[in-house]
Chain A
Amino acid sequence: MFVQKLLPVVFLMTFFQQATTPPAFPPAPATPSTFRIRGKVIDAITGQPLARASLALNPSNSPNTPNPLDSGRLEITDGEGVFAFVGVLPGKYVLSARHRGYIAQMYQQHENFSTAIVVGPGFESENLIFGLRPGASISGDVADEADDPIRHADVMLYHQIFAGGKRRTLQVRRANSDDEGHYHFSGLNPGTYFVGVLAQPWYAQHGVRHRVKPENQDVNEGGLQPLTEQNESLDVVYPIAFYSHASDLPGATPIALHSGDMAIADFRLRPVPAMHVLVRTPVTDSNQGTGVAVMQTVAENDTIYIPAQVNQLAPGLMEVAGVPQGRFNLVLNTQHGNATTHRSQSVQLENDSEVDTTRSPSSLVVSGILRVEDGSPVPQPARVRLRSSAMGESFDTTVSGTGEFSFKDNPVEPGNYEIMIIEPQGLLVRNLSSTTARTSGRSFEIATGQDVTVTIEASKGNGRITGVALKKDKPAAGIMVVLAPLDLRSNPALFRRDQSDSDGTFALNFVVPGRYTLMAIEDGWDLEWADPDVLQKYVARGEKVQIAPNQKTDVSVKVQ
């Protein structure tokens, strides 16, 4: 069972449904029998029963069918940790539980998958054991060079997780230190974490270091005059810091948490001189404005805003102050009429250096054509997204009915990019090709200083696979089901997964038409399934399936 929303939302849905939900259905006609969902909530580590845990039961519907009013139910465990929902109509239900100090979870939850409980004649819905794991925590104090607490420091928590079958380090939480410099992240899953802090010295002074001479306003012809900083000792910044004593994520010390662990990560930040960097931007006429922002790529998909001070000295000339030395992304937003061009450039900022963005390498434009496999026009509205693997930035643009698109408002630097269709839903990238860039799956590499044209082949209409995971010919619950394209190294967007429910059933939606291998893997949740070498050994005992557009396929698969 795949649940699109993360757990806290699932739990709350019970309490607060949108005002727009359809009216309550009239009470269902009395069925001959109702059933009971009964079980026990325990501490998954000690096995101790948990009293006063609350459980929510929601009908398991397809994502497009919201639950009717009042369909959710709640129960609370007794002193022995036992709960029971009585009078339950036959059907499929998502069960979730929470308890203070434990991580709220769906039943047998893995990532966003859980085992739904099937209720009806012949199905076992009692004697459930629902293990909750005590939440771990990381807390600490952030102090400045004088050992004074730094309040309102921006503390970022990174978690090394499995996502999309790969190990990735993602920012999972963000908090501010309090007036004592203290921060606290609680309710954490076991795993490997990193902590980073971004703060500004509260006393920092970043006066401009340049001015335009009143008598000579041509900044290219000696019109720029350096100024001496009156408060140089206060013209300082804290570079981003990672626990412990590291300046970036690769150098950070991993914090390994087991269930219930309470880790401490204290910081003492030391100021470094702030840079003053001249940035030349394309000279814009009076109808245009250029804004400069400074970003820093910290982790994959995580680019944070650095609160730099940007002063325009003259049209086309900015002074960026209040940043430490280092590599940053300079983001240039140029407004022309109603359109905004957004461009990023990776730069090394050093003192008294000058950055010329007018002659940057990042003037490459990615454009292309999107073809629907059956030759039909592209349904409107349609949008594609270009994502930079290095910067973590993404840009969207529209696709015309004849399939043309261009990211002309977002010129990019050479590097690795990924392209995806974000609208309409159900139109999926099947293949990506280019004569001017090397492609792999749905990503491509821009190596040269040339504009890039790509061709996207898209599949419209998708298939659905339902089935049962069988272990010794009996339905098996909680099994990871993976659907992989025959070529394991092709487009990762073609993979689909689910977790089998208590009756062994699973469903895979939005499957791009084509040939696949379907595998059911027991205890497969820690597998790096996106690594072809890992998955390869399961392929032989998988089921081969051929998926046609708008077709539902039913298949049984043996658990490995």
Chain B
Amino acid sequence: MLPGTLFALLTISLLAVPYFQPPLPLIVGSVSERIQDSSSIASQQYSSSDKYTLRGTVVNSVTGESIRGALVQIYFNGQSSMLTGPDGKFQFDGLPIGQTTIAVRKPGFFAEDDFQPSERGQRLATTGPNSSPVVLQLIPEGVIYGRISEDDGEPIDGLPVELLVQHLQNGRKAWEQRPGAVTDEEGNFRIAELPPGNYFLSAGPGRNPVVFPAKLSQPGAQGIPLVYYPMGSELAAAAPISIAPGKKVEINLTLSPQPFYRVSGTISGYAPSQPVNLQLRNSVGIPLPYNSRFDSASGSFRILWVPAGAYMLQADAPDGHGRSLTATVPLTVKTDLSGVHVILLPTVNIPIRMSLITSRTGTERFSDQENYSPAYVQLVARNAGLFELRYGSQQVGEKGASSLELQNIAAGTYSVEVNPNGPFYVQSAMSGTANLLESDLSIAPGTSPLPIDITLRDDVASLSGTVSLENRPRSATILAISEHASAPPRMQPTDAAGGFQFYFLPPGIYRILALDHPDRLEYANPEVLRKYLSKAREVTLSPDQSAKIDLELAKVGE
């Protein structure tokens, strides 16, 4: 594996939903230098002709054993790299006095900073007359392996094995599907490079029946259904497999063929000569590889070989005029199911009208930029099973006179997220009289929704300060929790000396909290956050105000 991809794997999610990272705010004036100062500490140097040595050891975080052949990288006048020796030791000579980020990696291990938010995961090392050796830890990967066979002992080959894991993302519990495996001809599978966590394993479904009917169109087929470890077709009844660092877990499954049923019916509302895509998802929204057939001449569809269970049948088709048609039908399969009727309905486009109230000079130049939009808008559907679906706004219209639009939105309920693209905050987001900052956006089938009106302001407040613990400065991550429950907390890492600065806060009342490990805290959940709030400080920020505050570090888990 190429080095960079190990961590990238962690963020691969099942649904290819375009998750938009809002562009970094454009920085006005001299502010930019200070931001860069606080975020990058690499290769600071002091003028001295003396040369120093940086030495240290790389150890296994679980066993404490030294690790040979680990790559250690530092940054003085460019990057220097070396592999640790047989005793796990490394030594860089001829270095100037100063400080550097130091990184270590080796296949089969995670670095500590793989599990930290990228802003503050970097480890620092100091060179100079009094520097001491560094101990760097590598966290061994987890592995899940095993064998899958039928109840008569016959190995099942070609069966997909998938892993689901729940982790915290932006202070919220989120599910993630890991790259899985397929059993080999002996029924064996192996999935490595697992970070610590609680994994839910699924096996199946088998693509082909193991017992055939006399004719494909007749009932009587049996095959391997989707099974969550240790048994059953529902994730809710599954048991997690706990992977601690370095743990290798063997999971053997014996699966019995189950009756496969046929689901058939009709689809209406599609455009002639346009393809219709049919997809069956299980009760937690995971698409299943059951192949469907659709005959556009008669409008009938059929899916062979579906085990009993609860499903969502989703149909999508282009309408031939650049829009899409969609329908989702819940199904409970206990026997052959016929006469299922799927009515494709047009999706809607929702215009966004944005207004910017400016009071500062210089702000209006943002709107002069070509194709600039002061905010990016996303609709988030959380009813799609385990995974949220995000629909991002698109720019439409002529160059210079473009506006935003949310396109091909199906009927449903969505929360609305507005991310300003500059030194702004969202004063209001309305759909008619509905306040989208406080409530969800509902789109009823067959209706065309009102435009979304968004008002942004530039009279932002700023907040700076320092973090300490027992009177010593500490690096931390700062949460700014708004009085409006619907607004997600703002996050900002401190520099190494505990200094932090928020530049573009909407005016209002905040509770400010300094945490050591927000990545381990479900901070978007008020219940979870409550016990830390005694360490928070409350500030009221008025428009254009710059406030200063000192905080004491709250340790997650204590």
Using CB atoms and an 8 Å cutoff, list the residues of chain A in contact with chain B.
14-17, 19-24, 52, 54, 69-70, 72-76, 100-101, 135, 146, 148, 151-152, 178-179, 184, 186-187, 200, 202-203, 205, 207, 230-231, 233-234
A72 to B295, CA, bound (A): 17
Report A-chain residues with C-beta under 8 Å of the C-beta of B298.
23
Report the minimal beta-carbon distance from A313 to chain B, rounded to whole angstroms: 16
Report A-chain residues with C-beta under 8 Å of the C-beta of B55.
none
Report the minimal beta-carbon distance from A99 to chain B, rounded to whole angstroms: 11
A288 to B390, CA, bound (A): 37
Partner of B211, one of A23, A76, A151, A233: A76
- 17 further interface pairs, Cβ-Cβ under 8 Å (given A20-B275, A70-B215): A15-B291, A19-B292, A20-B296, A21-B295, A24-B295, A70-B216, A73-B214, A73-B216, A74-B209, A76-B211, A146-B69, A178-B192, A179-B192, A179-B193, A186-B185, A203-B69, A234-B71
A152 to B5, CA, bound (A): 11
A73 to B83, CA, bound (A): 60
Rank and list the top 3 A-B pairs by shortest CB-CB distance, nearest first.
A179-B192, A152-B1, A16-B291
Is B65 positioned at the interface, with any CB of A under 8 Å from its CB? no
Kindly supply a per-residue 1/0 record for chain B positions 1-31, scoring 1 wherever the CB is within 8 Å of any chain A CB and 0 otherwise: 1110000000000000000000000000000
| A72-B216, A152-B1, A179-B192 known; A186 vs B184 contact (CB < 8 Å) | yes
Partner of A76, one of B71, B190, B212: B212
Report A-chain residues with C-beta under 8 Å of the C-beta of B211.
76
Chain A binder among B73-81, B398-406, B528-536: B73-81
Kindly supply a per-residue 1/0 record for chain B positions 168-209, scoring 1 wherever the CB is within 8 Å of any chain A CB and 0 otherwise: 000000000000000011000010110000000000000111
Report A-chain residues with C-beta under 8 Å of the C-beta of B291.
15-16
Count of B residues near A, CB < 8 Å? 46
Report B-chain residues with C-beta under 8 Å of the C-beta of A187.
185
Report the minimal beta-carbon distance from A450 to chain B, rounded to whole angstroms: 44
Q: A234 near B82 (CB under 8 angstroms)?
A: yes
Report B-chain residues with C-beta under 8 Å of the C-beta of A179.
107-108, 141, 143, 190, 192-193
Report B-chain residues with C-beta under 8 Å of the C-beta of A19.
275-276, 278, 292-295
Report A-chain residues with C-beta under 8 Å of the C-beta of B130.
none
Partner of B155, one of A70, A100, A146, A178: A100
Report A-chain residues with C-beta under 8 Å of the C-beta of B3.
202
A200 to B217, CA, bound (A): 51
Q: Tell me which residues from 131 to 165 in chain B have a Cβ below 8 Å from any Cβ of chain A.
A: 141, 143, 154-155, 157
Q: Which residue of B lies closest to A52 (CB)?
A: B154
Report the minimal beta-carbon distance from B96 to chain A, rounded to whole angstroms: 14
Using CB atoms and an 8 Å cutoff, list the residues of chain B in contact with chain A.
1-3, 68-69, 71, 78-83, 106-108, 141, 143, 154-155, 157, 184-185, 190, 192-193, 207-209, 211-212, 214-217, 275-276, 278, 291-298, 304
A179 to B215, CA, bound (A): 43
Q: Which residue of B lies closest to A101 (CB)?
A: B185
Interface of B is mostly: loop
Listed by A's residue number, 27 A-B pairs whose Cβ atoms lie within 8 Å are A15-B207, A19-B275, A19-B293, A19-B295, A22-B295, A24-B295, A54-B208, A70-B215, A70-B216, A73-B214, A73-B216, A75-B212, A76-B212, A146-B68, A148-B107, A151-B107, A151-B108, A152-B1, A178-B190, A186-B185, A200-B2, A202-B2, A202-B3, A202-B106, A207-B79, A230-B81, A233-B82
Q: Which residue of B lies closest to A231 (CB)?
A: B81
Q: B157 near A148 (CB under 8 angstroms)?
A: no
| A151-B107, A184-B184, A187-B185 known; A231 vs B82 contact (CB < 8 Å) | yes
Report the minimal beta-carbon distance from A419 to chain B, rounded to whole angstroms: 36
Q: A73 near B215 (CB under 8 angstroms)?
A: yes
A139 to B421, CA, bound (A): 54
A257 to B384, CA, bound (A): 50
Q: Which residue of A lies closest to B302 (CB)?
A: A69
Report B-chain residues with C-beta under 8 Å of the C-beta of A73.
214-216
Q: B297 near A230 (CB under 8 angstroms)?
A: no
A200 to B1, CA, bound (A): 9
A112 to B81, CA, bound (A): 53
Partner of B217, one of A70, A76, A148: A70
A151 to B141, CA, bound (A): 13
**Residue among A101, A178, A179 having the largest count of chain B Cβ atoms under 10 Å:** A179
A202 to B215, CA, bound (A): 53
Q: Which residue of B lies closest to A17 (CB)?
A: B293
A14 to B207, CA, bound (A): 12
**Residue among A23, A74, A207 having the largest count of chain B Cβ atoms under 10 Å:** A74
| A74-B212, A203-B71, A203-B81 known; A23 vs B295 contact (CB < 8 Å) | yes
A203 to B108, CA, bound (A): 13
Q: B80 near A230 (CB under 8 angstroms)?
A: yes
Q: Which residue of A lies closest to B141 (CB)?
A: A179
Q: Which residue of B lies closest to A178 (CB)?
A: B190
Report B-chain residues with C-beta under 8 Å of the C-beta of A21.
293, 295
Q: Which residue of B lies closest to A100 (CB)?
A: B157
Report A-chain residues with C-beta under 8 Å of the C-beta of B69.
146, 148, 203
Partner of A14, one of B68, B155, B157, B216: B216
A176 to B62, CA, bound (A): 28
Q: B208 near A15 (CB under 8 angstroms)?
A: yes
Report A-chain residues with C-beta under 8 Å of the C-beta of B185.
100-101, 135, 186-187
Report the minimal beta-carbon distance from A8 to chain B, rounded to whole angstroms: 11
Q: A74 near B2 (CB under 8 angstroms)?
A: no
A288 to B3, CA, bound (A): 32
Report the minimal beta-carbon distance from A439 to chain B, rounded to whole angstroms: 45
Report B-chain residues with C-beta under 8 Å of the C-beta of A152.
1-2
A19 to B141, CA, bound (A): 43
A257 to B1, CA, bound (A): 30
A186 to B183, CA, bound (A): 12
Report A-chain residues with C-beta under 8 Å of the C-beta of B71.
202-203, 234
